[in-house]
Amino acid sequence: MIQINSNFMRLPESYLFSDIARRVREFAGANPTVEIIRMGIGDVTRPICPAAIEAMQKAVAEMGARETFRGYGPEQGYDFLREAIADHDYRSRGIDIATDEIFVSDGAKSDTGNIGDILAADCRVAVTDPVYPVYVDTNLMGGRREPVLLPCTADNDFCPDLPAEPVDMIYLCYPNNPTGTVLTRSQLEVWVNYALRHRALILFDSAYEAYISAESTDVPHSIYEIEGAKECAVEFRSFSKTAGFTGLRCGYTVVPRSVKALDVISGREVSLNRLWLRRQTTKFNGASYVTQRGAAAVYTAEGQRQVSETIAYYMTNAATLRSGLRECGLSVYGGEDAPYVWVKTPGGCGSWEFFDRLLQLGVVSTPGCGFGKAGEGYIRLTAFNTLENTRRAVALLRGL
Ligand X SMILES: *Cc1c(COP(=O)(O)O)cnc(C)c1O
Which residues contact ligand X (rule: CB under 6 A)?
107-109, 132, 173, 177, 205, 207, 238, 240-241, 246, 251
C-beta of residue 344 within 8 angstroms of C-beta of residue 337: no
* Nearest in space to 238 (alpha carbons), one of 94, 376, 132, 382: 132
Residues in the chain: 400
- Tell me whether residue 330 or residue 336 sits nearer to ligand X (CB atom): 336
C-beta of residue 374 within 8 angstroms of C-beta of residue 130: yes
Amino acid at 316: T
C-beta of residue 275 within 8 angstroms of C-beta of residue 256: no
Q: How far is the CB of 105 from ligand X (least distance, A)?
A: 8
Which residues sit opposite 379 in a β-bridge? 343, 367
C-alpha to C-alpha distance for 227 and 186, rounded to whole angstroms: 11
Q: How far is the CB of 44 from ligand X (least distance, A)?
A: 9
C-alpha to C-alpha distance for 200 and 192, rounded to whole angstroms: 9
- Tell me whether residue 194 or residue 384 sits nearer to ligand X (CB atom): 384
Q: How far is the CB of 62 from ligand X (least distance, A)?
A: 25
Q: Compute the half-sphere exposure of residue 61: CA atoms within 13 Å on the CB side of its CA.
A: 6
- Tell me whether residue 108 or residue 201 sits nearer to ligand X (CB atom): 108
Q: How far is the CB of 2 from ligand X (least distance, A)?
A: 31
* Nearest in space to 160 (alpha carbons), one of 139, 146, 176: 176
Q: How far is the CB of 182 from ligand X (least distance, A)?
A: 13
C-alpha to C-alpha distance for 283 and 267, rounded to whole angstroms: 26
In 80-199, DSSP assigns E strands to 102-105, 125-129, 148-151, 169-173
Amino acid at 103: F
Q: Compute the half-sphere exposure of residue 236: CA atoms within 13 Å on the CB side of its CA.
A: 25
Q: How far is the CB of 329 from ligand X (least distance, A)?
A: 29
C-alpha to C-alpha distance for 218 and 184, rounded to whole angstroms: 5
- Tell me whether residue 113 or residue 151 sits nearer to ligand X (CB atom): 113
Q: How far is the CB of 236 from ligand X (least distance, A)?
A: 7
C-alpha to C-alpha distance for 18 and 197, rounded to whole angstroms: 43
Q: How far is the CB of 253 from ligand X (least distance, A)?
A: 10
Q: How far is the CB of 251 from ligand X (least distance, A)?
A: 4
Closest residue to bound ligand X by CB? 107
C-alpha to C-alpha distance for 241 and 205, rounded to whole angstroms: 12
- Tell me whether residue 86 or residue 203 sits nearer to ligand X (CB atom): 203
C-alpha to C-alpha distance for 250 and 237, rounded to whole angstroms: 9
- Tell me whether residue 175 or residue 256 sits nearer to ligand X (CB atom): 175
- Tell me whether residue 75 or residue 205 sits nearer to ligand X (CB atom): 205
- Tell me whether residue 107 or residue 160 sits nearer to ligand X (CB atom): 107
* Nearest in space to 236 (alpha carbons), one of 227, 245, 223, 249: 223
- Tell me whether residue 251 or residue 324 sits nearer to ligand X (CB atom): 251
